[in-house]
Amino acid sequence: MFLFIGYASGVWLRRPKAPSGLIVAGLMFAGCLRGAEPQSSSQPETALDSVVHIESSLSAVPVVPRLDTSALLQPQRVDIGEGTRLYVLQEGSGPALVLVSGGPGNSLHSFLPHFESAASFARVIYYDQRGTGLSDWVPGPAGYSTDQAVDDLERLRVALNVERWFVLGHSYGGLIAQWYAIRYPERLLGMILVGSSVSVDGVDLGERDYRSATERRRIREVYAIDGQSVVPVHSEQVNLTALQRMIFNGYLNGDWKRQFFFKPTRERMAQIARYEWVHDRGYNGQVRQDGFSRNLRGVFSDFPIPTLIVEGEYDANWGRDKPTLLAAEHPNAKLVSLEGASHFPFAEQPEAFFGRLEEFVGGRPPVDLTAVIEWKRSVGQR
């Protein structure tokens, strides 16, 4: 029996199944992890440079600070019912913009500090989904699911007293955003899909790989060396797990090229490993099986709500045709492809990304609620 370590439709590594399923299941989506920052060098290394750096031994994950310690972010724990509180940050003013992280199992930390650029034109709302990050780890009777994530998002809107908002979904969070749009379209001002997953039957999204054969071989060794599962303990001080050590050492040996165009600094790799891939036991597998088994083909063909799709030109999570395939499912959306960016365009090309986002938020046409209600009714009949 083999387990594939990769992202959604792409397969990058294959090895015999390890004795423990928790760590291995988490690695299946280490590809949806987080934001990156170009290095300070005048000529930062990129994924296209084909530089091979191999470390002969494993390194401990350095102690680095979280990025959400500013009082300006107004940290709070919001009660959404069902005995569940979500960890929430807010900054800025203007129309509400909620950020939905990917994974499944990624935390809000992947959006920091980048979206402070949006605080000048929007009320930016960050949150950890139930079962991830610093939110409560409280599965429902049937475990964790995309439906639960969608309903939690709506309960968060109510708890924060937001009438309508923009929903931005990154990677797997793009699936949550699309399902939220199906269930609660009357609550949307607009939808933004960033490096978003696609859930359409019969479509092969392909993959790209900028890593060398030497890097892939070493990454397989890294994942095989540290195979013991250490269940993370939910606390403010996130305990390191075997998964987090593997993520860090995988990145050191070139695995960053699956997510980023610019090579992250060592400190940024440590932040990614420590704070951006933290979730409850079984979370990733349960949500993955549920979320990616759904077919959205044709659902948004006449979607009446403004939609913006943003892609990094060198996003190795997908093949080159993926942005076109996603745009074909959203024919009324505006598609933007950013040069010099991969899976985290808001981190790697912030000026271009936030310029387009501000144009979208500030220049959106008014939503026709009558058309929205009719669309929701028609989707329910399909």
Percent of residues, the chain, with pLDDT higher than 90:
64
Identify the residue whose tokens are 């959205």: 296
In b/e form, how buried is each residue of 133-154, taking b as 16+ CB within 10 angstroms?
A: bbbbbebeeebbbbbbbbbbbe
Report pTM. 0.85
Predicted local confidence at residue 17, as pLDDT: 28
Place of tokens 């948004």: 300
d(CA 274, CA 247): 9
Number of folded domains that form the chain: 1
If DSSP codes are grouped into helix, strand and coil, which group holds residue 192?
Answer: strand
Residues 291-304 have a mean pLDDT of 83
Bridge partners, 143 (sequence order): 140
What pLDDT, in 10s, does the model give residues 123-135?
999 999 999 999 9
Tens digit of each residue's pLDDT (9 = 90 or more) over 141-179:
888 999 999 999 999 999 999 999 999 999 999 999 999
pLDDT band, residue 24 (cuts 50/70/90) = very low
Sequence-distant contacts of 90-94: CB under 8 A, at least 24 apart:
90/123, 90/124, 90/125, 90/126, 91/116, 91/119, 91/123, 91/124, 92/116, 92/118, 92/119, 92/120, 92/121, 92/122, 92/123, 92/124, 93/119, 93/122, 93/123, 94/121, 94/122, 94/123, 94/361
pLDDT tens-digit series, residues 311-360? 999 999 888 888 988 999 999 999 999 999 999 999 999 999 999 999 99
DSSP class of residue 212?
A: -
Domain with 297 in it: 1-382
Using 50, 70 and 90 to split pLDDT, how confident is the model at 89? very high
CATH number of the domain encompassing residue 122: 3.40.50.1820
